Amino acid sequence: MMKPLAATTAATSAVVCYLLARASPMCAFSPPSSSARRHNISFLRSNPESENALATDLVLPPFGSRQEFESYLQARAIMPAGFRCGSAPGRFIPVEAPSMGALKIQLTLVALDTPTDVWGAVFTRNLFPGAPVTVGRERLASGAPLQALAVNNKVSNVCAGGDGAAATERVCAAAAAALGLAGGGSAVLPSSTGVIGWRLPAEELAGEVVPAAAAELAAGGGDAFTAARAIMTTDRYPKLRSRTLKGGARVVGIAKGAGMIEPNMATMLSYIFTDAAGVDRATLQSVLARAVDASYNSISVDGDESTSDTVAILSSSLVPLADGPEGLAEFEEAVREVTAGLSADIVRNGEGTKHVIRVQVRGCPGTDKLARSLGRHVVNSPLFKCAVAGNDPNTGRIAAAIGSFLGKLEGDVPDGATDLLTISLGGRIIFSGGNFVLEGDEVEAELSAHMRAAEFGEADDYPRHQKFVEVGIDFGTPGGNAIVLGSDLTAEYVAVNADYRS
């Protein structure tokens, strides 16, 4: 059970009201009273200062301890109206490696009070997708309503022996039975993350863990923070972002992911929950796709696209948006802000990461997509990543990465495309007119100091700050633009991935 929610003074009444509505013991899944829900929504509508207090900042503040960080998230983790969640731990012995003994596994359930037709999702394009991705694609294509998510860590259920899809469906059926869902297992969207190639311990999950998670959900024991923490694998801390709209609707997102990060039309695992009404299914899918393209598709920790990448958005449609196009625009902006924040959190929480690199590309000779690919190429350069890890302003590695990328495009790059190219590091121009501008020890010291200022502990269990190693690539002409986030490469990354399965 999580610690009591530490809300700010302005939002205390709304927080207490919402928790009381969800804390009454019950022996089966049932929604909070409509009067309690109306009271909470009415409070948010009439107290705009509480809307701000219940939302995460666009740029998180610096934190001095893990407790301070977690208290900040807990105060902003209230789920939108119509959602509940619960998690439970379990143990299993992997068939593929029984000598490892009984290993821990966690399963999280998120359920809506009633089924919803308003949901969307995007999945990995890896040609070896996990069984939950295959099942999820089928759910999306069917157009059928959803009422729950079932997410397990430790085992990804990818290309494993046996029938992976059947194992996934067994867990979904167990979740539906435990929650009393009229739609059965097909009303549950599954996700799995963890070791590739291991069989999903469906018997242990369905028989023991799912019922325990459903019991916590029914008792009101979970919120978005507990869900964000429960789906972690090698993540060092939970990732949660939230926004509250003018009319009281909420947009709350959680994510997990620290390694095998270079998404392609999806992300590691991320879920966005909202109670906003007035957004149809097709519009919601389009909003999600645009947000994913600008956020999760613009990050990279290690250049490896996962086999399990999934991002899903679900709406309970209980709180009306503001009238007219302004309401939809506000909603889309909130989704964009949540996904942008979560994607940055994923990179900052990357395995062994102690610097986050932000590359801004302007005027790339081509499309925004090409600009994004160039940015990825720079942040994925092992030589540049290692230089950043050591606070070494070896600027030639940036230019080399740019030249390598453009050279591979062969005839697609027009003559003279780099004539006006400038490169900056930490805001200082380091390359212009075809030459480096790096004269004197003062410049070297300034660039190294910029890197050191953005550094944090590679094993920190909370984000100390939100600073970046800033790289600018400007071609000086109209063209594609992009912002890409990446991480450095440290010995800790190697250590984590040399011993991942245990």
* pLDDT tens per residue, range 97-136: 999 999 999 999 999 999 999 999 998 877 888 899 999 9
Predicted confidence at residue 258, as pLDDT, reads 55
Average pLDDT over residues 224-234: 89
Query: Could you give the CA distance from residue 460 to residue 220 in angstroms, rounded to a whole number?
Result: 31
Predicted confidence at residue 6, as pLDDT, reads 33
Higher pLDDT, 265 or 427: 427
Instruction: Tell me the residue ranges of DSSP E strands in 321-371.
Output: 356-364
- Give the burial string for 426-439 (b: 16+ CB within 10 Å, else e): bebebbeeeeeebe
Reading the block at residue 274, the tokens are 């909202």
Q: Would you give the distance in Å from CA 461 to the centre of its chain?
A: 17
DSSP conformation letters of 153-164: -SB---S-SS-H
Predicted confidence at residue 91, as pLDDT, reads 97
Residue 371 predicted with pLDDT over 80: yes
Task: Find the helix packing angle between 34-46 and 12-23, rounded to 10°.
Answer: 170
Predicted confidence at residue 49, as pLDDT, reads 52
Query: Could you give the CA distance from residue 81 to residue 18 in angstroms, rounded to a whole number?
Result: 9
Residue 208 predicted with pLDDT over 50: yes
Is beta strand 356-364 parallel, antiparallel or unpaired with respect to 469-474?
parallel
Catalytic residue among 193, 233, 267, 310: 267
User: What's the first-to-final CA gap in the chain, in angstroms?
Assistant: 26
Q: Which helix (H) or strand (E) holds 430?
A: strand 428-432
Q: Is 395 a catalytic residue?
A: no
Res. 220 pLDDT band, cuts 50 70 90: confident
Res. 221 pLDDT band, cuts 50 70 90: confident
Average pLDDT over residues 479-493: 90
Among 25-39, 280-294, 388-402, 453-467, which is the least confidently predicted range? 25-39
Higher pLDDT, 75 or 352: 75
Backbone angles phi, psi at 428, to 5 degrees: -95, 130
Query: Could you give the CA distance from residue 276 to residue 202 in angstroms, rounded to a whole number?
Result: 34
Q: How far is CA 383 from CA 133, 196, 388, 400, 402, in A?
A: 34, 28, 9, 10, 13
Predicted confidence at residue 2, as pLDDT, reads 32
Residue 489 predicted with pLDDT over 70: yes
DSSP 36: H
Q: How far is CA 408 from CA 25, 401, 413, in A?
A: 62, 11, 9
Reading the block at residue 343, the tokens are 């994607």
Average pLDDT over residues 406-433: 89
3-state secondary structure of 289: helix
Task: Kindly report the average pLDDT of the chain as a whole number.
Answer: 85
Among 201-205, 312-316, 337-341, 440-444, which is the least confidently predicted range? 440-444
Higher pLDDT, 16 or 330: 330
Backbone angles phi, psi at 74, to 5 degrees: -60, -35
Q: Would you give the distance in Å from CA 500 to the centre of its chain?
A: 20
Predicted confidence at residue 12, as pLDDT, reads 33
Query: Could you give the CA distance from residue 13 to residue 18 in angstroms, rounded to a whole number?
Result: 9
Residue 32 predicted with pLDDT over 50: no
Q: Which helix (H) or strand (E) holds 338?
A: helix 325-348
Write down the pTM of the prediction.
0.83
Angle (CA) 63-69-500 rounded to 5° is 105
Predicted confidence at residue 88, as pLDDT, reads 96
> Residue 385, CB half-sphere, CA atoms under 13 Å: how many?
23
Predicted confidence at residue 161, as pLDDT, reads 85
Residue 17 predicted with pLDDT over 80: no
Average pLDDT over residues 307-311: 76
Predicted confidence at residue 308, as pLDDT, reads 61
Residue 46 predicted with pLDDT over 90: no
